[in-house]
Chains A and B, each alone.
Chain A
Amino acid sequence: MAIQGHLGEMGLATLIQLTCQEATQARLTLRRDDQEAVLYFDRGNIVHALSADQEGKEVVYRVLTWKDGEFRLEMGIPPPARTIETPWSALLMEGLHRQDEERWETLDAEQIQREEEFAMPENMNDILKELSGQVPGFIAAAVVGMDGLDIAEYAAGPVDVESINAQMTLLFKLVDGAVDKLKAGVIEDYLLTTEKAYLLIRPLSDRNYYLGIVADRKSGNVGNMRLNSRIYAERLSKAMPK
């Protein structure tokens, strides 16, 4: 069975994520202009990747920058070789990290200053909007300070984000205090499962703000939420106004 489409309609990161969740053998062929790359999946990971001039992880990092092009996903095709041992989630994170770094390298000093001073809040809202497309059952997301006030938010419908932020901050502070007193380590994320929704909190790198995501219980997916919260928290941390 083969699935075909355009990368503009379904992002490559999402495509990789869904294929890995299937945990089956598959071949994903990507074409953009005159370039072609092929990724092989086996038991929930990318195990091999090749292009005309390269093979291994570097091919994955390169194709993750492709925003357009065509893909063809064929199930049940075994990998001809194994050149990648890194888990797929780590590959995606590293790929996104490199994209951010490359983007910054192309800016001159004046542009960087301008981005830092004026563009960051808008960027954070854009990032949350992008996140909404990656999380099944997405209801809302926000970047919230430990005072319970958000600096960026995005909701898929009429939701009282302000009230959720205030209440979840209160809860997170209590959880953080409990974990601290018990010397149980540093919190990476906190997930509350209710009858109606999943509510996930992940502190950003400065730990003064966190990313909060709410997704519908029926259509949401805990693994997907945790993964995307990791990926997007890293991006949001970088986009925080300095």
Chain B
Amino acid sequence: MTKLEQILQQVRTELGADFVSTDVVGMDGLSIAGGSVVADFDSTAASARFAMVMKLAANVSSKIGMVAVEDSLVTTDQAYIITRFLGDGSYFWSLVVTRNATLGMVRTLMNEYADQIWKAVPK
């Protein structure tokens, strides 16, 4: 197991039953590490689609003068989908948790682990 996978495993352990899926994704839409506990959750498709979202979000933010995007949070009736840029912005980290999760705690957890994940991304 790579260092990156170990860190994602720690995140998964911390979230317990609320964890659904996580991926570290390049801006080309390809995941370099991650996985899901839900069999029918298509994390490959999620990575590709949210890469498009993050690219557009960065564009939109720049056009309206709000500078760089830090993260994006989608709340649905089933889940929270959080994506945040890592390091120089060439990768992002996505995390999907159930609606039972405590959102504030999940955001704090992502703040705590984001740097470690970026350092563990092979360069």
Contact = CB atoms under 8 A, between A and B. Distances in A.
B45 to A, nearest CB: 6
A186 B81 CA distance: 12
B52 A193 contact: no
B78 A185 contact: yes
B11 interface: no
Given A167-B60, A168-B60, A185-B78, A192 B49 contact: no
Of B42, B52, B56, B74, chain A has the most CB atoms within 10 Å of the CB of B74
B73 A193 contact: yes
Interface string B93-120: 0001000000010000000000000000
B66 A195 contact: yes
Interface string A151-185: 00000000010011001101100110111011111
A196 B79 contact: no
A194 B66 contact: yes
Given A182-B46, A184-B96, A194 B67 contact: yes
Of A177, A178, A191, chain B has the most CB atoms within 10 Å of the CB of A178
B70 A167 contact: no
Nearest to A169: B60
A188 B49 contact: no
B66 A187 contact: no
Size band of the interface chain A makes with B: 20 to 34
B76 interface: yes
Given A193-B71, A193-B73, A171 B78 contact: no
Given A174-B56, A181-B49, A182-B45, A192 B61 contact: yes
Given A163-B64, A171-B53, A185 B70 contact: no
A186 B75 CA distance: 8
B73 A190 contact: yes
A209 B49 CA distance: 23
Given A178-B49, A193-B70, A170 B60 contact: yes
B76 A179 contact: yes
Given A188-B75, A226-B75, 17 more contacts: A163-B64, A167-B63, A174-B56, A182-B41, A184-B79, A187-B74, A187-B75, A191-B75, A192-B69, A192-B71, A193-B69, A194-B61, A194-B67, A194-B69, A196-B65, A196-B67, A223-B104
The 8 closest A-B pairs by CB, nearest first: A185-B76, A185-B78, A178-B49, A195-B67, A194-B66, A167-B60, A191-B73, A185-B77
Interface of A: 160, 163-164, 167-168, 170-171, 174-175, 177-179, 181-197, 199, 223, 226
